[in-house]
Structures are given as C-alpha cells and as structure tokens.
Amino acid sequence: MANSWPGVIRAYENYLPFSASTEVVTLNEGNTPLIRAGRLAEAIAPGSGLRLFLKYEGLNPTGSFKDRGMTAAVTQAVRDGAHAIICASTGNTAASAAAYAARAGIRCLVLVPEGKIALGKLAACLAYGAEVIAIDGSFDDGLDMVRTIVDRDAIARHPISLVNSINPWRLQGQKTAAFEICDQLGGAAPDWHCLPVGNAGNITACWMGFREYDEHTGTGLPRLLGGQASGAAPIVQGEVVAHPETIATAIRIGNPARWREALDALDESGGIITAVDDEHILASWRMLAAKEGIFVEPASATGLAALKQQIDCGEIDPTDKTAVCVLTGHGLKDPDAAVAQAKPPRTLPATLDALERYLANT
C-alpha cells in the first residue's frame, strides 16, 4: 500500500486551526507506533493484568515528539511572513526547528546551553544548517534571552518567529499525540497517560488533545502522570530550581514555561506529578532496551520510572488498567549517555579459537 500518511496537520485537520488551503511545512511526522509491552508490564506489576503500551515518539523525523509541534509552528511562521525562527533548547526543539526551517527554506537560530546538549542533537542541528549559538548559561537563561529579543523593535521589522513551547502553535501540533493514542487503542483513552515533564508543553498539549477528542468522539479521559527528575523538579517542589541537574538533559529545566497549564491539567485529570531520581530513570531506561528492544534517550524513560514508582508505593493500582508511557526521544540522540552506562565491549583476537573459547565459557 502506498504510504499515505500526510503528517499530523493534514491527518487531523478538523481539529487544527489551519485551513485546507494552507501551505503545510511537514516531514510526515506523527503516526508513531503504540507498542504493547507485555514483558515490561510483568516486570513492574506482576500478575496485575496491567496493559502497558509505549508510544514511541523517537520514531518521528528528527527523533523526538517535538516534530508534531514544529510542523504547526513553522507552518504558521511562514504564513506570518517570518524569514527566520529562533528558539532556546536543551537540544530536541533545536534539532526539530532546524529541520523544519530547512524544509521551509528559512533561517534558524538556536541557543543551547554550552556543553549540556547531547551529541546526536548537536550533530543534527549542524547538519540541517542551523546557526547554533552556545551560551554559558542554562536553558532557562536562553529562553529569557530569546523571549526578550523577539519583542525588540529592530526585530519586529524583520520578523523572527519564536518557536519555543510558549508558541501556541506548538501545542496545537503536539496535541495530536493524544488523538493517535485514542485511535490506536480502538477509540478509547488509557486509564493513565505517563510522560516526562520539562517545560510542561507536552503534558499541557496532550491534555488539550484528550479533552478535545473526548468531546467529539467520546473517548473518555485519562489521568495524567508526570515525571520530573529529582534534580530538576520545580513543579513537584513548588519552586523554581536555580541550578537544575539530571542525566535526563531534555528535562533539565528549572522554571517551566507551561507551569500553570500543567498544574491545571493535572488537577482536571485527577493526575499525579512526582520526582524520580536519576538512578531510577536509568533503571527504567535499561529495562526499555533490555526487556522490549526499545532504545530511548534517558529523559524518555521518566514516564515509565514514575509509573513504576507510583505502583510500588501504592498510589496507582495497576489491576486491569491500561497505561501508556510516552517515549519522547530516540536513544541515538544521546550516545554518550548510553556508552557511559554500558559495560565496554569484550575484545578478542580475530581467531575462531578465541571465539570458540569465549562461547564455551559464557
């Protein structure tokens, strides 16, 4: 069959604020698999009948869910006559912005925290031809800078569009993940929707999507479970974290742009937000790869780590429940983290003898 998936804007055009005549900037993002994870369910909630699904967003065109929002943000930027887009980013927003800007033939500037961006993300930004500016500050510093600069007069005359998740079009695109999940579950929302929370754009967008879909098609609503890293958990602690630290660099954020919206979404859904330490994020990250063959970047395992934690402490009863964990980004984004966590490969002489001895002894 011909591949007819047109990208998220056209696939869900009745739910998105674009007209049929809009020139859409797309890389055919979305339509990512929802993978049943039976072995993992058995490992975290043995005998409970938990139906666990993994929404593998790492299979988007630039390797993260950010592409869903970026198709909408860049489509709108072009419609507004922008000749450039700008963002601050821990890496994935930058890579996605760079790709969609290339696709649209416009300029792309990205501010990243120096030395804190994972290798695969930096490589992609450079390959797509973005102007990468490393700042000796955090993501939050970069976001303050780009927010201010786009308001300056000089810029207003040469429109630069800000494509961080404070851009409302990003959320419009990102809400389509909720639509897909309901469609893939046969027209029903899961009981629990679990995901990592950094800037809180995704949890806000997903909740918007679930609500809209429920209104139009009666899917019901999930409860939201958000996971933050313990060293970068402002929403859990109720205060800005000045120096966020975590191996999960995609959620290394101390002052989330969508803080209030996330609290509303959690409240409305009867949800939970919790902090998980790096050790448990990595344990979940390892389980995803070793038990299900799914390689993600560390931040992406935070939803699963949060689910396991809440089951272990009795806050979530997994009995006959359906849970979806959103795996936000691909493992190849952060090869350094993967290699640092692994045992180094075995070295053998290039002889059959050596291989035979090895097999006999293991």
Q: State the residues that interact with ligand PLP by CB under 6 A.
A: 64, 66, 92, 165, 196-202, 250-251, 297, 299-300, 328-329
Q: Which two tokens stand for residue 283?
A: 């344990």
Q: Which residue is nearest to ligand PLP (CB)?
A: 329
In whole angstroms, the minimum distance from the beta carbon of 77 to ligand PLP comes to: 19
DSSP state of 16: S
Element (H, E) at 84: strand 84-88
In whole angstroms, the minimum distance from the beta carbon of 66 to ligand PLP comes to: 6
Instruction: Report how far apart the first and last C-alpha atoms of the chain are (Å, whole number).
Output: 45
CA angle 331, 333, 337 (to 5 degrees): 70
Give the whole-angstrom CA distance, residue 319 versus residue 316. Answer: 9
Query: Which lies closer to ligand PLP via its Cβ, residue 264 or residue 356?
Result: 264
Strands 131-135 and 107-113, by their bridges, are: parallel
In whole angstroms, the minimum distance from the beta carbon of 111 to ligand PLP comes to: 15
In whole angstroms, the minimum distance from the beta carbon of 250 to ligand PLP comes to: 3
Counting Cα atoms < 13 Å in the Cβ hemisphere of 24 gives 24
In whole angstroms, the minimum distance from the beta carbon of 174 to ligand PLP comes to: 7
In whole angstroms, the minimum distance from the beta carbon of 298 to ligand PLP comes to: 9
Query: Which lies closer to ligand PLP via its Cβ, residue 180 or residue 297?
Result: 297
In whole angstroms, the minimum distance from the beta carbon of 99 to ligand PLP comes to: 14
DSSP state of 204: H
Query: Which lies closer to ligand PLP via its Cβ, residue 45 or residue 266?
Result: 266
Element (H, E) at 148: helix 139-149
Which segments of 76-201 are extended strands (E)?
84-88, 107-113, 131-135, 160-162, 192-196
Strands 84-88 and 160-162, by their bridges, are: parallel
Query: Which lies closer to ligand PLP via its Cβ, residue 88 or residue 109?
Result: 88
Query: Which lies closer to ligand PLP via its Cβ, residue 29 or residue 51?
Result: 29
Q: Give the torsion sign (CA, 240, 245, 248, 253).
A: positive
Query: Which lies closer to ligand PLP via its Cβ, residue 119 or residue 188?
Result: 119
Q: SS3 for 236?
A: helix
Contact present, 121 and 95 (Cβ < 8 Å) = yes
Query: Which lies closer to ligand PLP via its Cβ, residue 30 or residue 198?
Result: 198
